[in-house]
Amino acid sequence: MRLCTLFALATLGLMGAGPLEAGVLNVVATTEDLASIAREVGGDKVQVTALARGYQDPHFVEAKPSFIFTLNKADLLILVGKDLEIGWLPPLITQSRNSKIQRGGTGYLDASQTANILEIPQGEITRAMGDVHPQGNPHYWLDPGNGRRIAQAVQQKLGAMSPADAAYFSSRYADFDRRLAQAEERWDATLAPYKGTKIVTYHRSWPNLCERFGLDVVGYVEPKPGIPPSPAHTIALQAEIKRLGVRVILVEPYFDLKTPNAIGRETGAKVVVLAPSVGAEKEITDYIKLFDYDVNLVVSAIKQAGGK
């Protein structure tokens, strides 16, 4: 008899979680950008936790056991996907003992599914190209259009998980959409005079941002993705920067500034530590403020470096 009960329990467990109770959903996002978007859409019907900090390299987060506890209680896991978290998230999910957030579970949302992904490699891919992402560039959240797509996916997911609040989520989404559109007009206007400005970046973190706002990336401090700067590449890059008249070098906050600064001294280009994520600096508390910060910084850097 007892065995039967155990078996029934085991079966129930294997079948997945039962219906969700009404109330607050526990949402865990792998990055602070996704967390911010989830807060915009979920309002006070969700409680959101981010795993990686905004000033951390999201490729190299440590799979700390404290994250296992966080994931254990999650109703919904939102991840960046495109292999960004491949070095640390899969073992955390396995150890979370949480059926909802397993791959394919009801609470597993890969935010890249509906996003516009750039730099999907064509043809043969080998690691001779460095640490390439075969499914495309995973830094896609740096295009506000993708922020909107993520928000929409989150809204649909939350609505499906808690139908009673679906109308609430869709009105929150509409409000976020409106504020984001207003902000985009502002950013477009600020950056309009600088369209076509040639820049160099450290890692390939900014293709979406640059494409969206018309900046032209002509080189990288890294010789190949994930490969640290080499003297030969640095010398070649300096020549290229001088030839093309590049004024600005964008660096993520988690890279060493030694090489970019040396290139800056040699060429006169201005080195700017740009924010790749919400939380990279104290004042960047949400997704819209992230672009406010970056757009202002890029414009002031171009001006300081003697651009138009």
Partner 1 sequence: MRRLIHVFVAVSLAVVSPVLARAQEPAPSPSPSPAAGPALPPPPAPAPEPPGGSSGSGGVGPASSKVFNPDMAVIGDFVGAIGKSPGGGEPSLEMHEVEASFQAIVDPYARADFFLAFNPEGVEIEEAFITFPTLPGGLLMKVGKLRAAFGKVNTLHNHTLPWTDRPLMIQNLVGGEEGLGDAGISLSRLFPNRYVFLEATGEVYRGQNEVFKGEDRGDLAYLGRLRAYRDLTESSNLDLGGSFASGASGEGPGLKRLLIGVDATFRYRPLRRAIYRRFLARTELVWSRMEGQDRKHDAFGMYASAEYQFARRWFTGVRYDRSRQAVAPSGSDTGTSLTLTYWPSEFSQIRGQYRRTGPAAGEARNEVLFQFLFSIGAHGAHVF
The minimum distance between CB 55 and partner 1, in angstroms, equals: 5
> CA separation (Å) from 53 to 21, 70, 139, 230, 257?
30, 15, 15, 28, 20
Q: Report the candidate in 84, 58, 69, 71 with the shortest Cα–Cα distance to residue 27.
A: 71
Binding segment for partner 1 (CB under 8 A), chosen from 19-27, 241-249, 251-259, 263-271, is 251-259
Q: Is 227 an interacting residue with respect to partner 1 (CB under 8 A)? A: yes
Q: Which of 26, 31, 96, 137 binds partner 1 (CB under 8 A)?
A: 96
Site string for partner 1, 56-95 (x = CB under 8 A): xx--xxxxxxx-xx--xx---------x--xxx-xx-xxx
Question: Please, which residue, 226 or 307, has the CB nearer to partner 1?
Answer: 226
- Residue 38 near residue 284 (C-beta atoms within 8 A): no
Q: Please tell me the distance from the alpha carbon of residue 236 to that of residue 216, in angstroms, as a whole number.
A: 18
Q: Is 129 an interacting residue with respect to partner 1 (CB under 8 A)? A: no
Torsion of CA 78, 83, 89, 94, to 10 degrees: 100
Q: Please tell me the distance from the alpha carbon of residue 307 to that of residue 192, in angstroms, as a whole number.
A: 13
The minimum distance between CB 206 and partner 1, in angstroms, equals: 18
- Residue 165 near residue 158 (C-beta atoms within 8 A): yes
Question: Please, which residue, 149 or 212, has the CB nearer to partner 1?
Answer: 149
Binding segment for partner 1 (CB under 8 A), chosen from 5-13, 30-38, 172-180, 205-213, is 5-13
Q: Please tell me the distance from the alpha carbon of residue 197 to that of residue 149, in angstroms, as a whole number.
A: 27
Q: For residue 255, what are its two tokens?
A: 């890279």
Question: Please, which residue, 10 or 22, has the CB nearer to partner 1?
Answer: 10
Q: Report the candidate in 208, 144, 209 with the shortest Cα–Cα distance to residue 177.
A: 144
The minimum distance between CB 214 and partner 1, in angstroms, equals: 30
Question: Please, which residue, 72 or 285, has the CB nearer to partner 1?
Answer: 72
Q: How far is CA 196 from the centre of its chain?
A: 24
Q: Is 289 an interacting residue with respect to partner 1 (CB under 8 A)? A: no
Residues 191-210 that bind partner 1 (CB under 8 A): none
Tell me which residues touch partner 1 (CB under 8 A).
9-10, 12-14, 16, 53, 55-57, 60-66, 68-69, 72-73, 83, 86-88, 90-91, 93-99, 102-105, 127, 130-131, 226-228, 253-256
